[in-house]
Copies of this chain bind each other. A is one copy, B any other.
Amino acid sequence: MMELTRKGEYAIRGIVYLAGKPIDKVCLLSDIAAAVDVPPTFLAKIFQQFSKIGLVKSFRGTGGGFLLGRAPENITLLEVVEAVEGPIIPNRCVVSPPECERSGFCKVHPVWKRVQGEVRSVLAGVTLKELTNKEH
Chain A residues in contact with chain B, CB under 8 A? 1-5, 8-9, 12-13, 16, 77, 81-82, 85-92, 102, 105, 107-108, 111-112, 114-115, 118-119, 121-123, 126, 130-133
Contacts and interface: CB of A to CB of B under 8 A. Distances in A.
Nearest to A7: B1
Contacts of A89: 1-3
A122 B132 contact: no
Contacts of A4: 1-2, 90-92, 112
A133 to B, nearest CB: 6
A77 to B, nearest CB: 6
A32 B52 CA distance: 47
